[in-house]
Amino acid sequence: MDGFSLSLTEVVCLGTSLGLTGIFYYVHKQNRKTVTKLENAPRISIDGKLKDLLNVTPGACLNYAVVEGTVKAVGEPLKSQCHKEISGVLQKFTIKEHRIVWSSFSRTWMDSERILHQRVNMVPFALVGSDQAAVKVQSPLQANGVFTEVINEKFHQASYGFGDLVGLYIIGEKSKGHLEIEEMLKVGTTLTGVGELTLETDGTLTLRPPSDNSQYFLSLADFESLRDEIETVAVWWKALAVVSALAGAAVLFWAGFRFYRTLQVRWEQERINAEFARLQAEAARQRANRGNAEGPHDEANGNDIQNVCVICLGEPRDCILLNCAHVCCCFVCYQALPQKKCPICRQDIVRVLPFYHA
Ligand SMILES: [Zn+2]
Ligand SMILES: [Zn+2]
């Protein structure tokens, strides 16, 4: 399309929106795939018959299965640091610093936090079902999903002297204090696990990250809630992809609209030119008819200095500008005017007609 163009900003916006749409759609597809895999995964109950089931399964392994059981430590469980009565199998300590940081972009103080320290303690554990059957859980830290509970949270307010405060304001950063968090996967919690279920040669049952890179899950929520959660996330990614695609479409629409406006101006100009040419030809014909009737006469109104175009100073003035009715330029110069305003009185030109001496 001749004349269709995009500004650099529009190209950047369009490229960004296309890229983001692609990324969001890809993440959405991955989430949908996970939901489908979860829906197709067999739900196995942990009981005395589980070993028999795996014995007759090829490779003594179920590639992707859902199990639910109660958490039990294989050896001695861990004790909470703050609540001695709570015992668990996985313990996470986090120390976060809460700060306010001056943002020169928004000209305000913004809350921000960063992890200063994190430590994980873990003991081997299993999911226990009925008949004392147990499935040992391997590599729990590789699992997605929420499977620990916050059992203690303590905030230590930072204290400063006046001098420190002035210094901190100059740096544009101020610590509000430290937050200590203790999380634990408690013994006796019911846990949903999704992964590869195997009967080892020594007769133990294990749940581990799937070898085909499907997502491994451990969750405090039941299976339905876990699936719904991932489905909701998938819907959100899809919505983001749609919004991003719409933003790209809006940029294209805007560029198209601008192009249509320039086309309209061009068509209007062509219409004016055609009308001018038609009127000029008609006037010439009328003059010729009159000339034939009256016989040859003197062309006294040639290019005398009063009659030349005020712009090019070469061609005769051959058009009348309306509504001001000034006769001051030739049609070629009129067409070349950067703004359609009379060069004499600066009034807007709404129409132009050929001008000739009778
Ligand atoms: Zn001229
Ligand atoms: Zn004028």
For 29-48, how does the pLDDT look when each residue is reduced to its tens digit (9 = 90+)? 999 999 999 999 999 889 88
Ligand nearest to the CA of 333: 1
Q: Which of 201, 221, 241 is the last residue of a domain?
A: 221
Contacts with 217 (C-beta within 8 Å, 6 or more apart), sequence order: 143, 144, 145, 192, 193, 194, 195, 226
Q: Are 110 and 179 in contact (CB under 8 A)?
A: no
Ligand nearest to the CA of 349: 2
Residue 316 Cα to ligand 2 middle (Å): 17
pLDDT at 298: 47
Q: Which of 253, 272, 295 is the last residue of a domain?
A: 295
Q: Are residues 189 and 271 in the same domain?
A: no
pLDDT at 185: 93
For residue range 164-177, list pLDDT tens digits in order. 667 667 777 778 88
Residue 332 Cα to ligand 1 middle (Å): 6
Q: Three-class SS of residue 64?
A: strand
pLDDT at 290: 75
* Percent of the chain topping pLDDT 90: 49
Residue 318 Cα to ligand 1 middle (Å): 9
For residue range 228-267, list pLDDT tens digits in order. 999 999 999 999 999 999 999 999 999 999 999 999 989 9
Q: Are residues 154 and 17 in the same domain?
A: no
Q: Are residues 112 and 197 in the same domain?
A: yes
Residue 336, domain CATH: 3.30.40.10
End-to-end CA distance of the chain: 45
pLDDT band at 299 (very low <50, low <70, confident <90, very high): very low
Q: Are residues 208 and 228 in the same domain?
A: no
pLDDT band at 220 (very low <50, low <70, confident <90, very high): very high
- Which DSSP letter does residue 319 get? E
Ligand nearest to the CA of 310: 1
Q: Are residues 207 and 233 in the same domain?
A: no
Q: Are residues 71 and 207 in the same domain?
A: yes
Contacts with 353 (C-beta within 8 Å, 6 or more apart), sequence order: 276, 279, 319, 320, 322
pLDDT at 28 over 90: yes
Q: State mean pLDDT over 300-305.
A: 54
- At CA 86, angle to CA 208 and CA 222, rounded to 5? 45
pLDDT at 135: 93
pLDDT at 301 over 50: no
**Average pLDDT of the chain, as a whole number:** 87
Q: Which of 188, 221, 254 is the last residue of a domain?
A: 221
pLDDT band at 108 (very low <50, low <70, confident <90, very high): confident
Token pair belonging to 149: 């509970």
Q: Are residues 183 and 157 in the same domain?
A: yes
Q: Are residues 150 and 277 in the same domain?
A: no
Residue 349 Cα to ligand 2 middle (Å): 8
Ligand nearest to the CA of 340: 2
Residue 182 belongs to domain spanning? 45-221
Residue 331 Cα to ligand 2 middle (Å): 14
Q: Are residues 184 and 309 in the same domain?
A: no
Q: Are residues 204 and 97 in the same domain?
A: yes
Ligand nearest to the CA of 307: 1
Q: Look-up: residue for tokens 């307010």? A: 157
Count of the separate structural domains present in the chain: 3
pLDDT at 303: 52
Q: Are 68 and 222 in contact (CB under 8 A)?
A: yes
pTM of this prediction? 0.67
pLDDT at 71: 93
Q: Are residues 148 and 266 in the same domain?
A: no
pLDDT at 297 over 60: no
Q: Are 114 and 178 in contact (CB under 8 A)?
A: no
DSSP 176-229: EEEEEEEEEEETT-EEEEEEEEEE-TTS-EEEE--TT-PPPEEESS-HHHHHHH
Q: Are residues 244 and 271 in the same domain?
A: yes
